[in-house]
């Protein structure tokens, strides 16, 4: 079995992917043509150039422009189903999709209609593509108290059936001034039974990782790649085995690393940290979940057993029911036994 065949056959879960960022070029073109007059190109070649990012703030600006195309519940469902269609041929069985309710709120979409679209899309994703969808509601971190309140209210009052987590993304440096509002929102979400899965340590230092651990009760952290500059934090992450959802190509495309060879993932594994492998915003970064595994093999030199371990890490760190986890883990073990 070739390495590409092994990666394609490897049962995977996607734990860090964003609703809008998951939109393929074809889906974005469909939306931009459905809603003309935006700053998002309606020509494919121009759209691909539009996805060339100077740095993280520029990425956030482009992401916001694409996000503004999502104006109706039908658009939300189109994005979810597009992701399921794209994940299925990659061997992905389950995804925890990060949704930003505040973005739908500001364009006037009622909570109930957004939730209905997410529910319908989750059912169709499983029925039509064999990909089980769960949702994480995330606060856009640069928008402050109102965004936190809207996100929490939607999560508590009108949650989709598959809502499992509560998160926060966006520009990390902007969170400091809203610290109390964000801590309060996470406390209320956790009290309601939602898992805490914030971003931290993507574009800022270890202090943001400590904040999401101590202030948000993080059960899993998006990115966490700057942890290595703080030995005490590395020791804490190793001792607690707090999962870090790592997205190598994302970090390259947004300028957090200069070269893929510089990515800290190999050292994170050497330090004994709990790492899962994910795609973040795959079409925007010209990647896929399967491609992230290929990068791990070709650039970082990981063997098939290492790739299988990363896939198993994702399954264990997911919020799937335990019987489903055990079934997927057994499939991974069986593939490793026959495919090496």
Is residue 331 flagged as an active site residue? no
User: From CA 279, how far away is CA 82, in angstroms rounded?
Assistant: 15
Tokens of 214: 């101590």
User: From CA 102, how far away is CA 147, in angstroms rounded?
Assistant: 6
Interhelix angle 73-87/111-129, rounded to 10 degrees, is 30
Give the containing element (helix H, strand E) for 315: helix 304-317
Output the DSSP codes for 123-163: HHHHHHH--EEEEEEEEETTSHHHHHHHHHHHHHHS--TTE
User: From CA 329, how far away is CA 38, in angstroms rounded?
Assistant: 45
Contacts of 16 (CB under 8 A, 6+ apart): 96, 98, 222, 223, 245, 247, 276, 278, 279, 280
| Strand-strand pairing, 132-140 and 195-196 | unpaired
Distant-in-sequence contacts of 26-35, Cβ < 8 A, 24+ apart? 26/82, 27/78, 27/79, 27/82, 27/283, 28/66, 28/69, 28/283, 30/78, 31/66, 31/69, 31/70, 31/75, 31/78, 32/69, 34/69, 34/75, 35/69, 35/71
Output the DSSP codes for 249-277: HHHHHTTSSSSGGG-SHHHHHHTT--EEE
Point out the catalytic residue in the list 14, 72, 202, 292. Answer: 202
- For the annotated catalytic residues, the residue numbers are 202
């Amino acid at each position: 079995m070739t390495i590409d065949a092994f990666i394609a056959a490897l049962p995977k879960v996607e734990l860090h992917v964003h609703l809008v960022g998951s939109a393929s070029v074809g889906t974005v073109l469909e939306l931009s043509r459905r809603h003309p007059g935006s700053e998002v190109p309606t020509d494919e070649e121009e759209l691909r150039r539009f996805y060339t990012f100077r740095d993280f703030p520029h990425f956030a600006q482009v992401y916001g422009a694409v996000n503004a195309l999502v104006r109706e519940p039908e658009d939300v469902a189109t994005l979810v189903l597009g992701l399921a269609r794209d994940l299925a041929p990659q061997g992905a069985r389950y995804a925890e999709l990060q949704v930003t309710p505040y973005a739908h709120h500001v364009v006037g979409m009622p909570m109930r209609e957004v939730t209905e679209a997410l529910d319908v899309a989750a059912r169709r994703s499983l029925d039509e593509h064999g990909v089980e969808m769960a949702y994480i509601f995330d606060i856009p971190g640069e928008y402050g108290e109102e965004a936190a309140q809207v996100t929490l209210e939607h999560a508590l009052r009108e949650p989709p059936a598959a809502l499992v987590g509560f998160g926060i993304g966006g520009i990390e440096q902007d969170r400091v001034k809203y610290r109390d509002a964000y801590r309060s929102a996470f406390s209320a979400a956790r009290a309601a039974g939602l898992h805490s899965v914030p971003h931290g340590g993507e574009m800022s230092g270890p202090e943001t990782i400590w904040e999401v651990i101590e202030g948000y009760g993080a059960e899993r952290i998006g990115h966490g790649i700057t942890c290595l500059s703080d030995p005490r934090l590395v020791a804490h992450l190793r001792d607690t085995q707090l999962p870090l959802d790592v997205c190598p190509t994302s970090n390259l495309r947004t300028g957090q690393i200069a070269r893929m060879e510089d990515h800290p993932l190999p050292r994170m594994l050497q330090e004994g940290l709990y790492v899962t492998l994910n795609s973040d915003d795959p079409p925007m970064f010209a990647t896929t979940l399967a491609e992230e595994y290929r990068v791990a093999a070709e650039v970082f030199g990981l063997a098939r057993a290492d790739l299988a371990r990363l896939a198993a890490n994702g399954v264990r760190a997911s919020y799937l029911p335990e019987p489903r986890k055990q079934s997927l883990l057994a499939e991974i073990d069986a593939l490793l036994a026959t495919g090496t």
